[in-house]
Amino acid sequence: MENEDVLILAIESSCDETAAAVVKNGREVLSSIISSQIALHTVYGGVVPEIASRKHIEKINQVIEAALREANVKLKDITAIAVTYGPGLVGALLVGVSTAKAISLASGIPLIGVHHIEGHINANYIENKELEPPYICLVVSGGHSHLVIVKDYGEYEILGKTRDDAAGEAFDKVARAIGLGYPGGPKIDKVSKEGNADAIHFPRAKVVDSVYDFSFSGLKSAVLNYLNSCEMKGIPVCQADVAASFQKAVVDVLVEHSMNAVEEHGLRKFAIAGGVASNTSLREAFIRECSARKIDFYCPSPIFCTDNAAMIGVAGYYEYRKGVRHGYDLNAVPNLRLGENYE
């Protein structure tokens, strides 16, 4: 058994992507299928949880079948089934968890519940075969902003997190305010390329009692105040300048906190993860800073930054190796914290 390949069938349905993947020995993605619901939610300006759950139910079986087909494997070849059980939208998570439990029960293949944020961090192992813990990772997604030390596989020390809005949430809210709509992050990324990032100075918030914590709600309010004052004074708003200046404020804070953490902890390896990690300007800033400081920088390709099941398969593999197996009492945990395990 020890010399056999470990094939993980992974399932992810925590938000608005229905995804399944097959991952071999933790680092080789044999297939990664993502069915995005973005077009469905765009008309509402954000993710509607009820619609997300219903769409997951419609799509999940097809997506899993496609993942097995594309990987050219049969269910009987699968070593374990890994599924995201939190954090996320409870109704959306339940679809993946129930499906994984049903397949596991029917086939006898072991079940492993995976933490969504751990999945994001583990996405770094897919294309960076040499990357191993310990290192520092910045996880920035729609619901989370964490700066962590990855001490070992599945072992994390949280250095800082957001006190209010997540980085992605700030992108989405500002995008809506300047008329770009949902999904905000990619749209701000694109339009910023035509704007002047130094046109407007927005605040870089500091959290007084915790140097690594983030706060983005003040920045969001500063953008809203700027838009209101322009309207009152009859000054036209340059969408690209606001987008670029806001993006620069976020990037500056993320880079400063991360580089301070890397320097203070003496680890010369740094990675980024989560949907916001696909941001062009953020990636460029980290490449520049890390190269100047002689720090090895790692990031997943954009397709593995935003939600996908391949990252869940990677995290599931390392859980499998540690002997983690879950029973059929595994449930969706919408507020699951990093480092918390299912009891």
Q: Which residues bind Zn ion (CB under 5 A)?
A: 141, 307
Residues 38-77 that bind ligand KG4 (CB under 6 A): none
Pick 7 or 89: Cβ nearer ligand KG4: 89
Question: Closest distance between Zn ion and the C-beta of residue 88, in Å?
Answer: 8
Q: Is 84 in the site for ligand KG4 (CB under 6 A)?
A: no
How far is it, in rounded angstroms, from Cα 206 to Cα 160?
Answer: 12
First to last CA, the chain: 28
Torsional class of 294: left (φ above 0), alpha (ψ -120 to 50), beta (otherwise): left
Pick 35 or 278: Cβ nearer ligand KG4: 278
In Å, what is the CA distance from 87 to each residue of 65, 144, 156, 251, 259? 25, 10, 16, 25, 27
Pick 68 or 315: Cβ nearer ligand KG4: 315
**Residue 224 amino acid letter:** L
Residues 140-179 that bind ligand KG4 (CB under 6 A): 141-143, 168, 171-172
The pair phi, psi for residue 81, each rounded to 5°, is: -110, 120
Question: Which of 184, 195, 300, 316 is close enough to bind ligand KG4 by CB under 6 A?
Answer: 184
Question: Which of 12, 118, 165, 307 is close enough to bind ligand KG4 by CB under 6 A?
Answer: 307
How far is it, in rounded angstroms, from Cα 184 to Cα 278?
Answer: 13
Question: Closest distance between Zn ion and the C-beta of residue 179, in Å?
Answer: 26
Residue 47: alpha-carbon gap to chain centroid: 16
| DSSP SS3 for 150 | strand
The pair phi, psi for residue 260, each rounded to 5°, is: -60, -40
Pick 124 or 141: Cβ nearer ligand KG4: 141
Question: Closest distance between ligand KG4 and the C-beta of residue 262, in Å?
Answer: 22
Question: Which of 186, 300, 313, 316 is close enough to bind ligand KG4 by CB under 6 A?
Answer: 186
Question: Closest distance between ligand KG4 and the C-beta of residue 213, in Å?
Answer: 19
Site mask, ligand KG4, residues 189-228, x = CB under 6 A? x---------------------------------------
Give the alpha-carbon dihedral of 113, 116, 119, 124, to 10 degrees.
-170
Pick 7 or 184: Cβ nearer ligand KG4: 184
Residues 11-40 that bind ligand KG4 (CB under 6 A): 15
How far is it, in rounded angstroms, from Cα 41 to Cα 295?
Answer: 39
In total, the chain counts a number of residues equal to 343
Pick 172 or 213: Cβ nearer ligand KG4: 172
Question: Closest distance between ligand KG4 and the C-beta of residue 295, in Å?
Answer: 22
Instruction: Answer with the entry of Zn ion, ligand KG4, none that 119 interacts with (C-beta below 5 to 8 A by kind).
Output: none
How far is it, in rounded angstroms, from Cα 209 to Cα 206?
Answer: 9
Give the strand order in the sheet containing 135-140: 155-161, 145-152, 135-140, 269-273, 296-298
Pick 104 or 247: Cβ nearer ligand KG4: 247
**Residue 7 amino acid letter:** L
Please count the other Cβ atoms lying within 10 Å of the Cβ belonging to residue 284: 11
Question: Closest distance between ligand KG4 and the C-beta of residue 250, in Å?
Answer: 8
Contact residues toward ligand KG4 (CB under 6 A) are 15, 141-143, 168, 171-172, 183-186, 189, 274-276, 278-279, 306-307
